[in-house]
Amino acid sequence: MGAGFVSKFRIAAAMRIRVAHLYSDYLNIYADRGNIAVLARRAAWRGHELEVASFSVGDTFRPGDHDLFYVGGGQDREQALVATDLAAKGAALREAVDGGAAVLAVCGGYQLLGRSYRDREGRRLPGVGLFPLETFAGERRMIGDVLLDCSWAGRTLAGFENHAGRTILDDGAEPLGRVVSGFGNDGASGAEGCRVARAVGTYLHGPLLPRNPWFADWVLAQALAHAGGGAPPELAPLPDDLEQDAHEVAARRARERGGRF
C-alpha cells in the first residue's frame, strides 16, 4: 500500500462510534453478538473505536447519544419478555433514526422493530413501528442457508435463517435484498429484510457480518456518518480474503440447499 494510498484514507480523524446494544441478555442466538466483535475489529483497523453500551429491560437512552443501535435474535419466549419494554423505547428509537442513527436488527429483534409479532402461541407482541411491516408465526420453521441479491449495493449477502415468523412488508417498503436461495421474509414474496434510512433489519444470522465484509463496512460507514455529522465515509479497504472465502462457502451452501422445508 503506497504512501499516497495510506494518506488518502488517513484523512478521516479517529472517531468514537457509540453503539447501543439492546437486550444482549435476552436476544442473542446464533452468535449474533459476534456482529459487534466484527464491527469493533474493522473499526479499529481504520483507527476508530467502538464504544458499546448495553440497554435492557428498564433501561432508557437519549435519542442522540448513539450512532448505532444493535439488536439480535431470540426465541418467542425471550421476545415476549422484552417486547413491551422495547415498544416503550420506540419513540426514542424512531427519533434516533430520524436523526440519522444507524440500526442493525437481526431476526427476533428485526421482527420487534416492525409494528407487531404474533407468536406461535397467538400472542400479539407490540413492536416499535420503525419498520413498515408485520410478522406472524407460521406452522413450519424456515431454516437453512440464505443468499440475497442486494442490487442497491451491487452485492450479495450470505447467511443462515431459522424463524417461524412470516414478515409481510407494507407496499412500497424497501427490502434489504432479493432472495436468490432461501426463504427470506415469508418464503413467498422473494423479499428479505427491510431498510429505512440508515436502519436495516434482516433474518440473516451466522453471525451475518464475518462472511459479508462489505456489509459490515456499510453499517460502520452509516454509524460514522452519524458520529461525524457528514456523509458515510469511504473506508480504507482491508485484505478480506478469508472473509471472501467464507462468503463463497456460505453462498455455495445456500445455492445447494437453501429454501427447502
Name the active-site residue from 107, 150, 163, 247: 107
Beta carbon nearer to ligand GLN, 12 or 31: 31
Binding mask 39-78 for ligand GLN (x = CB under 6 A): ----------------------------------xxxx--
CA triplet 250, 205, 96: central angle to 5 degrees?
A: 130
φ/ψ of residue 41, rounded to 5: -70, -45
The backbone region for 63, taken as left when phi is positive above 0, alpha when psi lies in -120 to 50, beta otherwise, is alpha
Q: Say whether residue 24 binds ligand GLN (CB under 6 A).
A: no
Name the residue among 242, 28, 196 with its Cα closest to residue 97. Answer: 196
Binding mask 176-215 for ligand GLN (x = CB under 6 A): ----------------------------------------
What type of residue is 62? Answer: R
Q: Hunting for cell 465484509 — which residue is that?
A: 213
Judged by CB under 6 A, the number of residues near ligand GLN is 13
Min dist CB 189 to ligand GLN, Å, is 16
Q: Compute the 3-state secondary structure of the chain and give helix, strand, coil in percent, each to the nearest 5.
A: 35, 30, 40
Binding mask 142-181 for ligand GLN (x = CB under 6 A): --------------------xxxx----------------
Q: Site for ligand GLN (CB under 6 A): which residue of 9, 12, 24, 29?
A: 29
Beta carbon nearer to ligand GLN, 76 or 217: 76
Verify whether residue 194 is a known catalytic residue.
no
Verify whether residue 66 is a known catalytic residue.
no
Min dist CB 11 to ligand GLN, Å, is 40
CA distance linking residue 200 with residue 194, whole number of Å: 6
Could you tell me if 11 and 47 are in contact, meaning their C-beta atoms sit under 8 angstroms apart? no
- Cβ-closest position to ligand GLN: 73
Name the active-site residue from 48, 66, 205, 226: 205
The three-state secondary structure class of 77 is helix
CA distance linking residue 253 with residue 206, whole number of Å: 13
Min dist CB 177 to ligand GLN, Å, is 18
Q: How far, in Å, are 28, 66, 94, 127, 203 from residue 251 at the CA level?
A: 23, 33, 33, 32, 16
Binding mask 110-149 for ligand GLN (x = CB under 6 A): ---------------------------x------------
Q: List the grid coordinates of 252.
A: 455455495
The residue ranges that bind ligand GLN (CB under 6 A) are 29, 73-76, 79, 107-108, 137, 162-165
* Catalytically annotated residues: 107, 205
